[in-house]
Amino acid sequence: MVEEYSKDELIERLTEELKNNDKSAYEFRDNIKPVYSTGRGLTRKTVEEISEIKKEPDWMRRARLKALEIFLSKPMPTWGPDLSGIDFDNITYYTRPDEIKARSWDEVPDQIKQTFQKLGIPEMEQKYLAGSVAQYDSEGVYSNLRREWEEKGVIFTDLDTAVQKYPDLVKEYYCRAIPPSDNKFAALNGAVWSGGSFLYVPKGVKIDMPLQTYFRLNGEQSGQFEHTIVIADEGAKVHYIEGCTAPKYETNSLHTAIVEIYAHKNSEVKYTSVQNWSDSVYNLPVKRAWVDENAKMEWITGELGSKVTMIYPSSYLRGKNASTSNLQITLATHNTVKDAGGKALHLAPNTTSKIVSKSISLDDGLTVYRGLVRINDGARNSKSFVQCDALLINDESKNYTYPYDEIYDPTAVFSHEATVGRIGTDELTYLRSRGLSEDEASSMIVLGFMDDVMKEIPMEFAVEMNRLVKLEMSKMGAVG
């Protein structure tokens, strides 16, 4: 079971972690030469090469080529952050680190295994997880699921393996919630996707421990394009977690993922993601959930690294009494942009949504809240609450808010709150009078600001998220 904790216990634990923080634990580089690469650039040949090396069925090859056509036909989006630094012609779209796909950490090649050991993944699996998948560059290199869940029919593996072993099930859900026509980057993923996770929880199965996938992008001027599908059948319950890191390079890399979640009738799905890409990565994922009758969908995300992030996890509340919550922390440091938020579309009666966004800006970092709530005519007695709070660390930091609220049913209840504030001298003075250093006091204020989100995360992952926040702040000398 996930460990319960009090706020005081969490603060004590986090304070100790902050003292011992070391950013080298995340930004190290590996000297691993891939066994195969398509080289730089994206053409029809690149896409066919990826499909051929994976020995995919013809329907997937055709889907990839159609997605490529859509990608090439769509213009770059210009309504958000500047994306001109993405050089599609000089990105490597597929890199295979090794031929082995292991079910035991002992089987993983030594250099790759050492990378994940530095990140603490095997130890975390043993203590806290029902199963895990590890991806290195373009391929899943490891997957494992505890026997008790295998015996109950749970499927948890990388998507490439699922295409081979469970083709009918994959085909039933692949790109239904997020078709390639949705946007340019969804089309790019559809053309060159590799890796990601496939999780299926059968009817009535309630998994009481999280399952995790960890993504490591190691190559310079490369891309990672995983595609994840999570299916909770009727009455099922699951908590799925993703983490990701990358070393820093002088040239830019691209991460464009797809996450499709299907929460069937009476099911519960929690999705937690903590990303700490280096500030040479453009992070442009698309994440969406279909939420059926009486189902519950929870998004909890920490957007801490990257040069530019654009992410808006969305829930389509398709059945009556469906509900969703979207809790998000974003952190923008020097010369970075976090354009993030959440979307909730109420398509049925008595549906509820809650969106809480906590953004932190320091140096000249820019955070943006961009959200959408739509309550359709006929979605009677639906309710939605939006709260977006921004904390500015210094005079140069910035935050913008762009809420889009479309309420078409007269019985709906909707509210939106927003605040912008700074770390105040009075608060710092008080905490320092209680024996804390300025660094510890500033960290404590940030922790309190994030509390609405932090208290929803299992202990070990809350500690990790706070460590990463401190890491990013310490790079600029803002705290510590």
Count of CB atoms situated within 10 Å of the CB of 395 = 8
Average pLDDT, the chain: 80
Q: What percent of the chain has pLDDT over 70?
A: 67
Query: What pLDDT score was predicted for residue 346?
Result: 98
Q: Which two tokens stand for residue 55?
A: 């020995």
Note the pLDDT tens digit of each residue in 193-218: 988 899 999 999 999 888 887 766 66
* pLDDT at site 407: 96
Higher pLDDT pick, 149 / 300: 300
Mean pLDDT of 415-425: 76
Q: Is the pLDDT of residue 463 over 80?
A: no
Q: Which residue has the higher pLDDT, 31 or 478?
A: 31
Least confident range of 77-81, 302-306, 418-422 = 418-422
Q: What is the mean pLDDT of residues 249-275?
A: 89
* pLDDT greater at residue 309 or residue 126: 309
Q: Does the pLDDT value for residue 72 go beyond 60? A: yes
Q: What is the mean pLDDT of residues 233-255?
A: 79
Residue 455 has pLDDT above 80, yes or no: no
* Distance between CA atoms of residues 92 and 224, nearest Å: 9
Assign residue 168 a region: left if phi > 0, alpha if psi is -120 to 50, beta otherwise? Answer: alpha
Q: What is the 3-state secondary structure (H, E, C) of the chain?
A: CCCCCCHHHHHHHHHHHHHCCCCHHHHCCCCCCCCEECCECCCHHHHHHHHHHCCCCHHHHHHHHHHHHHHHHCCCCCCCCCCCCCCHHHCECCEECCCCCECCHHHCCHHHHHHHHHCCHHHHHHHHCCEEEEEECCEEEEEEECHHHHCCCCEEEEHHHHHHHCHHHHHHHCCCCCCHHHCHHHHHHHHHCCCCEEEEECCCCECCCCEEEEEECCCCCEEECCEEEEEECCCCEEEEEEEEECCCCCCCEEECCEEEEEECCCCEEEEEEEEECCCCEEECCEEEEEECCCCEEEEEEEECCCCEEEECCEEEECCCCCEEEEEEEEEECCCCEEEECCEEEECCCCCEEEEEEEEEECCCCEEEEEEEEEECCCCCCCEEEEEEEEEECCCCCEEEEEEEEEECCCCCEEEEEEEEEECCHHHHHHHHHCCCCHHHHHHHHHHHHCHHHHCCCCHHHHHHHHHHHHHHHHHCCCCC
Highest mean pLDDT among 33-42, 145-154, 249-258, 372-381: 372-381
- Nearest in space to 256 (alpha carbons), one of 278, 226, 230, 279: 226
pLDDT for residue 174: 97
* Spatial contact of 457 and 272, defined as CB atoms under 8 Å apart: yes
What's the pLDDT tens digit per position in 387-407?
998 888 778 888 999 999 999
Domain assignment of residue 480, yes or no? no
Q: Is the pLDDT of residue 5 over 60?
A: no
* pTM (2 d.p.): 0.85
C-beta of residue 480 within 8 angstroms of C-beta of residue 474: yes
Window from 7-21, 317-331, 364-378, 440-454 with minimum mean pLDDT: 7-21
Nearest CA-CA partner of 224 in 113, 95, 112: 95
**Least-confidence region, from 348-352, 409-413, 456-460:** 456-460
**Mean pLDDT for the stretch of residues 52-80:** 95
- Give the phi and the psi of residue 105 in degrees, each rounded to 5: -60, -25
Per-residue pLDDT at 4? 43
Contacts with 162 (C-beta within 8 Å, 6 or more apart), sequence order: 155, 169, 170, 198, 229
Q: How many domains does the chain have?
A: 1
Closest to 57 in 3D by CA, of 169, 163, 202: 163
| 445 within some domain | yes
- Is pLDDT larger for residue 336 or for residue 421? 336
Given this model, what pLDDT does residue 420 score? 78
| Residue corresponding to tokens 């993923």 | 189
Least confident of 143-157, 240-254, 282-296, 312-326: 240-254
For the segment 270-296, the average pLDDT, to the nearest whole number, is: 91
Residue 1 lies in a domain: no
Q: Is pLDDT of 96 > 90?
A: no
Let me know if 39 is exposed, middle or buried by CB neighbors in 10 A (0-12, 13-18, 19+): exposed
Q: For the residues 360-376, what does the mean pLDDT come to?
A: 92
CA 243 from centroid of its chain's CA atoms? 7
Are 146 and 52 in contact by the 8 Å Cβ rule? The answer is: no
Q: What is the mean pLDDT of residues 279-308?
A: 92
Q: The domain containing residue 130 runs over which residues?
A: 7-475
Is residue 15 in some structural domain?
A: yes
- Does the pLDDT value for residue 135 go beyond 70? no
Number of Cβ within a 10 Å radius of residue 240: 23
Per-residue pLDDT at 299 exceeds 80: yes
- Does the residue 18 lie in any domain? yes
Is 2 within the bounds of a domain? Answer: no
pLDDT tens for each residue of 441-452: 666 666 666 666
